[in-house]
């Protein structure tokens, strides 16, 4: 999970976390000797601490307070921390309790369905009579996470492995963000009732509503989030409604930054200007969007002859088998490798799914290497 220098930079907060949790957070995050990071009781506190220290470092370095904050699932607690709804220790107590309760409601499973809209996913589940499966995360318009009993997700898997759909089981310890977390929601609501919550100093966009919290809603929405879908795509679309909005991911990795870029490309109603800005931007390690130079780190843009999407897909698959090493001409994404054959997304977009990015890239943005 990383964060070695963060623990050194914030020794007092690290000691606070160690005392509250009863184990060394540094050891868990950096070494995980007992293999606990797959257990949500440990995953949630670890993520919270690393995200919090990363935010404090950024604040110390820049002094810039964001105009809005948002987080994906557990990350929403860090967004609320940034908005000063509670202090570091109180937030960690909440996250520890949340993890314990969600673990006790475990036993289910989750999976990502790729290259399928919400409407398509609901239709497939309904036709198969799998009404006990919930839609848990709306990550992008074409990436939906489903959640439910393990046997129901096993039954759903072959249904989403036909045509252009992909089914990716997720390594989780429960059916999070689903009806199966109801008991956890009830108990967490009781815990929240005894926790002091301050008025928000920065607008926090809720996972549940994809709109900013109102102060009287904070406890209710924090509890409801456990059983509600994470409306991340709607959240990003809402924020893009503000002119000049830039996104910066704080914490470990670039998963959300990559999602933002995909959302900007996939949502048709964002408008041509937003789509053009997304196509001419790169996301830096913290997720900040900035204009790229005419020559990206991967080299100058390559002029390609005008071909239909079908022709581009056909030529790509003839020349480049699954497992081809590629680099992006749209930004510095490091080492990538194709995971599928090229397909046509949304009826017009030639694309291929790649490892190292965990999403689709337009064929026009990729260049084989090696």
Give 162-196 pLDDT, tens digit per residue: 888 999 999 888 999 999 999 999 999 999 999 99
Report long-range pairs for 297-301 (Cβ below 8 Å, ≥24 apart): 297/331, 297/332, 298/327, 298/328, 298/329, 298/330, 298/331, 298/332, 298/367, 299/327, 299/329, 299/367, 301/329
Give 114-125 pLDDT, tens digit per residue: 999 999 999 999
Give 303-352 pLDDT, tens digit per residue: 334 578 788 888 888 889 988 988 887 666 677 888 888 887 545 668 78
Are 62 and 30 in the same domain?
A: yes
Between the two ends of the chain, the Cα-to-Cα distance in Å is 30
CATH number of domain containing 116: 3.30.70.250
Residue 40 within a domain: yes
Residue 177 designated active-site: yes
pTM for the whole thing? 0.73
Residue 156 has pLDDT above 80, yes or no: yes
Query: Is 300 within 8 Å of 276 (Cβ atoms)?
Result: no
**Mean pLDDT value of segment 32-50:** 93
Residue 297 has pLDDT above 50, yes or no: no
CATH number of domain containing 27: 3.40.366.10
Q: List the domain range (segments joined by +) for residue 315.
A: 297-370
Q: CA 19 → CA 49, 88, 94, 98, distances in Å?
A: 13, 13, 15, 18
Question: What is the bridge-based pairing of β-strands 325-328 and 366-368?
Answer: antiparallel
Are 96 and 204 in the same domain?
A: yes
The total number of structural domains that make up the chain: 3
Give 264-274 pLDDT, tens digit per residue: 988 765 544 44
Does an H or E element contain 49, and which?
Answer: helix 40-62
Are 39 and 121 in the same domain?
A: no
Q: Which of 54, 72, 73, 147 is catalytic?
A: 73
Q: Which of 177, 206, 228, 328 is catalytic?
A: 177
Residue 298 confidence (pLDDT): 32
Are 99 and 128 in the same domain?
A: no
Are 188 and 320 in the same domain?
A: no
Residue 276 has pLDDT above 70, yes or no: no
Which of 159, 191, 223 corresponds to the end of one domain? 223
Are 64 and 208 in the same domain?
A: yes
Are 66 and 136 in the same domain?
A: no
Are 25 and 146 in the same domain?
A: no
Residue 365 within a domain: yes
Residue 360: pLDDT band (50, 70, 90) is low
Residue 60 has pLDDT above 60, yes or no: yes
Are 8 and 100 in the same domain?
A: yes
């Amino acid at each position: 999970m990383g964060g070695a220098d963060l623990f050194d930079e914030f020794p007092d907060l690290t000691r606070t976390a160690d005392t509250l949790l009863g184990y060394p957070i540094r050891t868990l995050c950096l070494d995980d000797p007992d293999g606990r990071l797959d257990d949500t009781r440990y995953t949630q506190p670890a993520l919270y601490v690393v995200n919090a220290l990363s935010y404090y470092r950024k604040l110390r370095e820049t002094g810039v307070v964001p105009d809005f904050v948002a987080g994906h699932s557990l990350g929403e607690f860090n967004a609320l921390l940034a908005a000063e709804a509670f202090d570091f220790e109180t937030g960690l107590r909440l996250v520890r309790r949340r993890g314990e309760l969600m673990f006790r409601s475990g036993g289910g499973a989750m999976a990502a369905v790729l290259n399928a809209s919400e409407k398509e996913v609901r239709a497939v589940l309904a036709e198969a009579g799998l009404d006990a499966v919930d839609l848990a995360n709306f990550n992008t318009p074409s990436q939906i996470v489903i959640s439910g009993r393990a046997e129901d997700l096993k039954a759903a898997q072959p249904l989403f492995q036909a045509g252009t759909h992909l089914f990716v089981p997720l390594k989780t310890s429960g059916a999070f963000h689903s009806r199966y977390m109801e008991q956890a929601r009830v108990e967490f609501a009781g815990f929240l009732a005894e926790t002091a919550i301050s008025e928000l100093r920065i607008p926090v966009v809720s996972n549940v509503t994809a709109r900013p919290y109102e102060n009287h809603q904070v406890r209710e929405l924090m509890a409801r989030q456990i059983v509600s879908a994470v409306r991340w795509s709607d959240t990003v679309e809402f924020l893009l409604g503000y002119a000049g909005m830039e996104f910066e991911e704080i914490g470990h990795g670039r998963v959300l930054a990559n999602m933002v870029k995909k959302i900007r490309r996939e949502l048709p109603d964002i408008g041509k200007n937003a789509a053009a800005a997304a196509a001419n931007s790169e996301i830096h390690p913290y997720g900040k969007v900035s204009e790229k130079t005419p020559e990206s780190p991967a080299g100058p843009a390559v002029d390609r002859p005008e071909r239909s999407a079908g022709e581009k897909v056909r030529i790509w698959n003839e020349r480049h088998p699954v497992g081809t090493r590629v680099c992006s001409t749209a930004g510095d994404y490091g080492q990538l490798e194709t995971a599928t054959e090229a397909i046509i997304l949304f009826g017009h977009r030639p694309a291929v799914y790649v490892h190292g990015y965990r999403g689709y890239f337009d064929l026009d943005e990729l260049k084989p290497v090696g």
